[in-house]
Amino acid sequence: MEFVSEVKWKPDSSVSELVAQFKANGFQSTELNKASSVLYKIWSQKAKVILSFTSNMVTAGLRSLFAQLISLDLVDAVVTTAGSIEEDIMKAKGEKFPLTRFRADDIELHEKGHNRIGNIAITNDSYGRFEGVMKDLTENIFSKKESMSVSEFLYEVGGNLSDENSILYQANKKNIPVFCPAITDGSIGFHLYLAKDKNPKIHLDVIDDFKKLMFVMSPDDTKGFIALGGGVSKHFGLLTTMINGGADYAIYMTTSSGWGGSLSGASTNEAKSWGKIKDDSDSVTVLGDVSINFPLASFSVLDRLKKEGVI
């Protein structure tokens, strides 16, 4: 029988040591420790990895970490949402997002041209400059080829960026596909509409990306799935694990619960009923703020992999 142990600070202790202490704590700290363990197995075994995340992860500051994981060859495909794409481009072009308050005066923010996401704001001025960036990008990319898949378009966007902390830049450099099945669900969708309105021959094929995603991994691969948040990015990524026999390893991190039947709140256990995750998979669902939990889990594993010479 295992008993609860106490968390205790030690001078010069590392993130790895802190997460290791969570193993015998209760509640979500236990699950976070398990997530770290599963993540180590995924990366140390060089499993085929799909990383899915929602746009608020990029807003909150996890963008550079995602880019770093791609640069370290720890990700084989990314599935995300339109907001992630536009904010990655914005930040690559030098935009900065002001911190505000969860209980800010939203009417006052609106009058100032600040759009609130939790305790972060994105200014109308940033979106205004983004319009100019997208005009240049679409003119440059579609002048060479008018019809392509969304992932091909995002690959080309990455090739036009020069920020080492950019997800799209690193994905281009490593030839890692970035899938965004709901590319029109955001400001970037409006700018793609403007480009197509100017040149009706422009076409982005989302169905072709469905085919490409199916072949990111095969039934014979050791498969890992990391879902940060939920929604379309999580669901789209899980389609390939389901078609290819289920994930061997899976980590879900979310603030949503499963009681409402949403995919965002669905646990790794629920995924087994669909065959998205294997019955004997090593999997875990961590409930809580991903902007805290994922850096803790990933940093602890990266420290270990660095010591072992894996990265």
> What CA–CA distance (Å, rounded) separates 91 from 57?
13
> What CA–CA distance (Å, rounded) separates 122 from 59?
9
Helix then strand count (H, E) for the chain reads 14, 10
Q: How far is CA 166 from the centre of its chain?
A: 12
Among this protein's residues, is 276 annotated catalytic?
yes
Residues in the chain: 311
C-alpha torsion angle, residues 134, 210, 165, 51 (rounded to 10): 150
DSSP β-bridge partners for residue 284: 251
Residue in 34, 91, 276, 278 annotated catalytic: 276
CB 73: neighbour CB atoms within 10 A? Answer: 13
> What CA–CA distance (Å, rounded) separates 133 from 85?
13
Bridging pattern class, strands 120-123 and 114-117: antiparallel
Contacts 24+ apart (CB under 8 A), 141-146: 142/195, 142/199, 142/202, 146/199, 146/201, 146/202, 146/203
Picking from 208, 150, 152, the residue whose alpha carbon sits closest to that of residue 182 is: 150
List Cα–Cα distances, 258 to 32, 227, 271, in angstroms: 18, 15, 11
Helix (H, G, I), strand (E, B) or coil at 250: strand
> What CA–CA distance (Å, rounded) separates 163 from 66?
13
Catalytic residues: 276
